[in-house]
Structure 1
Amino acid sequence: MLLSLCMIVKNEEDNLPRCLESIKDIVDEMIIVDTGSTDDTIKIAKSYGAKVFHFEWNDNFSDAKNFSLEQAKGDWIMTMDADEELSASDKNKVLSLLNNRDIDVFLFQTLSYVGNTPGLETVNNLNIRLIRNHKGYKYMGAIHEQLYNSINPIKGNKVKTEKIIVYHYGYLIKVAIKKDKPSRNMKILEKLLENDPNHNFHLYNMGNEYLRLRKFEKALACFKKAYENFMPNLAYCPKLLLKMIITLEELHRHDEELKMLNTGLQYYPKFTDLEYIRACLFHRQKKYSLAIKGFKKCIEMGEPPLDQYNINDVGGYRAYYALGEIHSELGDYDDAYYYYIETIKAKPNFYMPLYRIAEILVKKGRTIDVTKATLEKFFGERLNVGAYTKLGDIFFGMRKYRVALEYFLKAQEILKTDQNLDYYVGMSQFHLKNYEEAYKNFEKIEEGIRYEQAIYKMILCEIFSNHMENAEKLLHIAKNFKNKNYIVFKSFKNLVEDMECEIISNDKEESKQFANNIFMLLDIIIKVATPEMFEKALQLLNLIENDEVLLRLAKHYYNNGHYNLAYQEFIRSIKMFDRIDKEGVEMMKNILDTPMTVTT
């Protein structure tokens, strides 16, 4: 049985090699239909032996895809997008399906990475991947195209879902921004909805585009209109409910969200995602008994059917971890410890439970040596660079800087030259107030994402060490960076030297951005410098025009354990600017509930 790959592409030079590498060993021909690339897409396709065809783009995905199918000579057609990759472990599974005489269409799992980088966070979809050729199968619909048969209606017994994974990179933030897919998609959908304004599937897809753009009110309006003629047996309807629920959560319309969750679970009682989201809602509302019951039910339910599978592992490690978090909040550390261990068993490469386990061990009075030994066991008998780095990060987060430094140095001994490790070692020394040693490590960083951060830390090292001349030289370097930190750091240096400082900004909107930079600096100084340095830095708040600074300062003190000072600033914020919010009220209540004296 011969297998043809069919793809439509445009300007995919960044993605295409990864895609073609993943399937080149199992396909007999590659059909690449280009709709107007201006980069090296065509050159790359030809380098893999692909047959490249040109198609003039007409805002219709089905037309382009059907053109690609017409070129295929194989017995089977495999469909992929350029920003996708077939799982290496599933290649042989694909080939084994080609000898199945009873099935014409196979659906595979698509795991779409979300966020900044590929990692644990994915969303799931089912997509048609294998189609028997020369049987009349075609696509229809300008966008989010659907498969149909031009000869006979598609029969359910001819379609099968396989747990074969295709990874999708198109939802990653940097990819989405570069490709600007929402604009393209919405243009097509707007035309379709002009002709048929009540088309449920188009409304659902338009809602998805608004949701991706974080235009939640518009998204909800589309979803609600699509929901008016809800038919639970349609393939997209479980996702319609899920997207409505996600949108209601973003809009903080929790009563409606809960009602929709309950309705959804009546329609789809095995839809673990909805049970998980409901338990998360109860958790946020501090309805701990209901949340615990919900997460335990998720574990009982396990993963949902593939057609309802969206958020990965809601029936596994996510539910265990949530139970650990709840019991930790309640002070039930033995139960919390148990669920964190279960989380690690379910997902060994998910490291957040280790941070929590370390905190529990310290709270229960375990010594640092016992805590270190316990955590090291999770990495096996022989620790490598990754283990040392992760352990260093855990103890750094707990403000155990000497222990963190010990692990980072061990990792540094193995790698010798690594700018990330230089930065970690520098930060540990920085928090230990070993400014000279910190400076030496930051100085090793000459490029990349850490360079700018290292320069600013070096400036602080020199200011704290009273090496003002070199601090000034470094500030000249920082002046070329594209942010407002330079002005804040320059003003701080002047304040330390008791020099006259100009107002940073009188503009309220601009001052908001400067306030962010100032509070980031304050957060560093309160941890790594003397009280006198912090007092100097506080004067920066007088150089901007912002009526939220006292409220933010109060929260800053609270988060650093200075509760008396926090309470005083909350009171000042209320008296001077009439500023307080829900989080601030909760913090004030916590302070008053703490067995201590508050001086006002």
Structure 2
Amino acid sequence: MAAHTKLISLCMIVKNEAACIARCLRSAIGTADEFIVVDTGSTDETIAIARSFGAKIIEAEWRGDFAAARNVGLEQATGEWILFLDADEELSAGAAQELRTLVQSQASPGILLPIWNLLGEEEETATINPVLRLFRNDPRHRFEGRIHEQIAASILRAAPDAQLRLGETVIRHYGYRPSTVAEKDKIERNTRLLLQAIEEEPEQPFHRFNLGVEYLRAGRPAEALASFRSAKGAASFERLSYAHLVFKYEVRSLQTLGAWQEAAAAAREGAKLFADYADLWHCLAESLCSAGRWREAISGACSALRAGPPTGVYHTEDGMGAHRTAFLLGSLYERGGRVDAAVHWYVESVRMKPSLLPPLLRLCRLLRVNGRGDELPALLERRFAFSTEEGSLKIASLLLDSRCYAEAVQWLRQRAAGPCWGEASAAWLMLAEAELAASEGRFAQARRWAAKALDDGHGYWHEPEPEPGHGHGLGQADGEMPVWLGGRHPEQGSPLGEVTKPGVEKSQTQASEYAKDRRQSYSMGEAKCRLRLLYAAVLQITEGAEAAAAFCQGYGADVRGSLAQELAACVAGILREEKAEQAASSGASGDRLARVLQAVGESIRHGSDEAAHGGVEGLAAWADARLEQLEQSLQSRSAGATVQRVLRSARLRLAGCEGEA
């Protein structure tokens, strides 16, 4: 063993990690005094990248034993403390000061750090596990276990009365993201090694537990359930540090199998032993809800909120006992028809995690379907504080995506004189006005709004004159130019950039600029893109597919597939026309509706996820508008309450909500 000449040594084992090792090592600069990298057979640039960070490289043959490989690195470490990371992990900002201060004032032989296992391609979904990652460099401290190797057992053997401490520095782990798991075939490798470990140590419940986790990740819930129940059968199971997690994964396996009553029973059993573990109460609420026992589910969700986010040695998921449980509680109240309670908990969910958007989307759709959409601007203003333009535009985008067009216009107009108003806000208000016009069947006006916003001042756009008597009652007469574009009239050139008339050839640069604009979700560029799409959607309705295709030419291959996103705004307008035409036996709206549904079908067949999603939204908008008409018709005829509840339930489900008859 090397002499201790440094404070912290970072020890890693790697193989073909060129894609991510630089991120890991970069995050440890300033924290560790030396990098010890054990390479077990890389054939890519892993070793060269590690050397560029000054790492000491030890090449070792892979023997199918993670503990043995890690111990090779420990033998070479000269730090008083060992920090171990995997190449697909990184330390959070501020780690250097936090960890170096912590170890210099620490009598404990080991420190647990929270590992955030990121499950999606974004950071919104994660499990959080406190894991022993920082420990004193002592020849008695060595890893054990062929796979899912552990250091705690050897530390506690050396000092049975030692107490491990909890640190706050977060380690982000990217290796459980679907793309990474598929690329490296980790599940198959882990399963093979765990089966071998079970042959060697058949009485070790930890192997059974980890095998169950791999089976569950592989989509084999029945085998996972058997493994978890085998682990539960171990002597003194309740005293194991991971017993709470065995219960939780047993419940998850039963949920995956659709055994909701059995899942609820397993969650109750676990909650009796671990009453302060919010994850089990949350899982209980989910299971009871799916079993049709939503009133009992509410009680379970409330217990999870009372327990609060798990701390200490509990392994958890982000939001358990907090924003995720509040969101669940909102959906439970929504399912029971208690709209005000649902609204309260959706708001609470966002209050707990302000970056969360799904609860706000549900809130907007819920109030719209229940005929209370006009309450949204005041509600949002009252319950939230918006200090940036981006925050305000997030709300505007959610209102538009929820088909709350008039409310989006009102929301943005209320901010026209505020300190957070800018060119992006002006562009989004143009979009909201255009979508509102389309949703009311004022297609010529929708085209004019888009044209005014996109006109480059060269006379390419020749829109029809305003139709008399079609104002939307929000204080802006048809055909008038709003005053909130910073004093710039379209005839003087628009701040929204240049577009070309239908049929004019566009360059590849413009197509790439379109794609760039689309990546900025709440930017002026995104509003420009949606205005182009809306213009094309209205062309599709009023003049046919060829006119829309000519307009879209040059904006990128995915643009026509994205039209359904804006076609959804037009569906209600077409049905309004249809209702007005029924007495005159006109077929114009029917022809337009056929064009929309044809375009929606083409979007779904287009192939991209965005196109398919937009197509489904278009179909949902059509179905919702039809059901709304039927609902209004039944109300005027005093139809039975049961029938009306069924229609309302169907509309809520189309909106992605949970309402039931």
- Give the TM interval when normalised to the shorter protein: 0.7 to 0.9
Structure 2 counterpart of 1:562: 626
1:337-356, Cα deviation, whole Å (9 max, x unpaired): 44344434433333444445
How much has 1:438 moved relative to structure 2? 5.4
SS in 2 for 1:11: coil
Structure 1, 530-539 or 124-133: larger mean CA deviation: 530-539
Structure 1 counterpart of 2:121: 116
**Counterpart AA for 2:137:** N
1:543-571, Cα deviation, whole Å (9 max, x unpaired): 99xxxxxxx99x9599515349999xxxx
Structure 1, 420-429 or 166-175: larger mean CA deviation: 420-429
**Counterpart AA for 1:57:** W
SS in 2 for 1:85: strand
Structure 2 counterpart of 1:446: 514
**Counterpart AA for 1:281:** S
From 170, 187, 195, the counterpart of 1:190: 195
C-alpha distance in structure 2 between counterparts of 1:111 and 1:182, whole Å: 19
1:119-155, Cα deviation, whole Å (9 max, x unpaired): 2x22111211111013421112221012243995452
SS in 2 for 1:308: coil
Structure 1 counterpart of 2:24: 19
Distance 1:324 1:151, change over 3 A: closer
CA contact (8 A) 1:108 1:166 kept: yes
Residues 1:157 and 2:216 are matched in the alignment: no
From 592, 597, 601, the counterpart of 1:533: 592
C-alpha distance in structure 2 between counterparts of 1:5 and 1:526, whole Å: 59
Structure 1 counterpart of 2:296: 290
1:322-350, Cα deviation, whole Å (9 max, x unpaired): 33333344343443444344434433333
Residues 1:142 and 2:146 are matched in the alignment: yes
SS in 1 for 2:142: strand
* TM-score (structure 2 length as normaliser): 0.68
From 224, 228, 252, the counterpart of 2:258: 252
Residues 1:54 and 2:59 are matched in the alignment: yes
C-alpha distance in structure 1 between counterparts of 2:369 and 2:548, whole Å: 40
C-alpha distance in structure 1 between counterparts of 2:275 and 2:194, whole Å: 32
Residues 1:105 and 2:182 are matched in the alignment: no
C-alpha distance in structure 2 between counterparts of 1:54 and 1:249, whole Å: 44
From 231, 240, 244, the counterpart of 1:234: 240
Structure 1 counterpart of 2:280: 274
How much has 1:115 moved relative to structure 2? 2.0
1:92-139, Cα deviation, whole Å (9 max, x unpaired): 3322331345311111111212223112x2211121111101342111
Distance 1:523 1:218, change over 3 A: farther
**Counterpart AA for 2:286:** C
C-alpha distance in structure 1 between counterparts of 2:403 and 2:181, whole Å: 37
C-alpha distance in structure 1 between counterparts of 2:346 and 2:213, whole Å: 34
From 83, 86, 110, the counterpart of 2:88: 83
CA contact (8 A) 1:558 1:587 kept: no
Structure 1, 153-162 or 57-66: larger mean CA deviation: 153-162
C-alpha distance in structure 2 between counterparts of 1:162 and 1:415, whole Å: 42
CA contact (8 A) 1:198 1:226 kept: no
Distance 1:134 1:254, change over 3 A: same
From 399, 403, 408, the counterpart of 1:399: 403
CA contact (8 A) 2:15 2:39 kept: yes
Residues 1:466 and 2:471 are matched in the alignment: no
CA contact (8 A) 2:405 2:432 kept: no
CA contact (8 A) 1:3 1:78 kept: yes
SS in 2 for 1:307: coil
CA contact (8 A) 2:35 2:56 kept: yes
Structure 1 counterpart of 2:526: none
How much has 1:295 moved relative to structure 2? 2.0
Distance 1:388 1:284, change over 3 A: same
1:504-556, Cα deviation, whole Å (9 max, x unpaired): xxxxxxxxxxxxxxx99996874565443334566899999xxxxxxx99x95
Structure 1 counterpart of 2:212: 207
Structure 2 counterpart of 1:216: 221
From 392, 397, 413, the counterpart of 1:388: 392
C-alpha distance in structure 1 between counterparts of 2:356 and 2:314, whole Å: 24
CA contact (8 A) 2:16 2:42 kept: yes
C-alpha distance in structure 2 between counterparts of 1:12 and 1:43, whole Å: 11
Distance 1:141 1:417, change over 3 A: farther
Residues 1:172 and 2:161 are matched in the alignment: no
Q: Structure 1: which 5+ residue stretches go unaligned?
A: 490-518, 545-551, 568-585, 595-600
C-alpha distance in structure 2 between counterparts of 1:367 and 1:260, whole Å: 41
CA contact (8 A) 1:11 1:37 kept: yes
Distance 1:475 1:228, change over 3 A: farther
CA contact (8 A) 2:264 2:288 kept: no
SS in 2 for 1:111: strand
**Counterpart AA for 2:394:** K
Distance 1:458 1:137, change over 3 A: farther
From 311, 315, 318, the counterpart of 1:309: 315
C-alpha distance in structure 1 between counterparts of 2:243 and 2:33, whole Å: 36
SS in 2 for 1:63: helix
CA contact (8 A) 1:427 1:438 kept: no
Matches within 5 A, 1:315-464: 315-355=321-361, 358=364, 368=374, 371-376=376-381, 380=385, 382=387, 384-404=388-408, 407=412, 413-414=422-423, 433=443, 434-435=446-447, 446-447=514-515, 460-464=537-541
**Counterpart AA for 2:515:** E
How much has 1:396 moved relative to structure 2? 0.9
From 70, 79, 90, the counterpart of 1:74: 79
* TM-score (structure 1 length as normaliser): 0.74
Structure 1, 429-438 or 179-188: larger mean CA deviation: 429-438
Structure 1, 394-403 or 468-477: larger mean CA deviation: 468-477
SS in 2 for 1:386: helix
1:177-228, Cα deviation, whole Å (9 max, x unpaired): 3333212222322333455566432232222112112222232233233333
**Counterpart AA for 2:380:** L
Distance 1:337 1:21, change over 3 A: same
C-alpha distance in structure 2 between counterparts of 1:15 and 1:429, whole Å: 49
Structure 2 counterpart of 1:597: none
From 109, 130, 133, the counterpart of 1:129: 133
Paired residues, what number?
A: 532
**Counterpart AA for 1:533:** R
CA contact (8 A) 1:46 1:52 kept: yes
1:241-298, Cα deviation, whole Å (9 max, x unpaired): 2111101101101122122112212332222211111122223344233222222222
C-alpha distance in structure 1 between counterparts of 2:346 and 2:210, whole Å: 38
**Counterpart AA for 2:149:** E
Distance 1:400 1:363, change over 3 A: closer
CA contact (8 A) 2:15 2:40 kept: yes
C-alpha distance in structure 2 between counterparts of 1:9 and 1:102, whole Å: 31
Structure 1 counterpart of 2:646: 590
CA contact (8 A) 1:303 1:309 kept: no
C-alpha distance in structure 2 between counterparts of 1:540 and 1:240, whole Å: 49
Distance 1:431 1:237, change over 3 A: same
1:566-599, Cα deviation, whole Å (9 max, x unpaired): 99xxxxxxxxxxxxxxxxxx999824999xxxxx
CA contact (8 A) 1:7 1:80 kept: yes
Distance 1:592 1:167, change over 3 A: closer
Distance 1:479 1:320, change over 3 A: closer
With a CA cutoff of 8 Å and minimum separation of 6, indicate the structure with the bigger relative contact order. Answer: 2
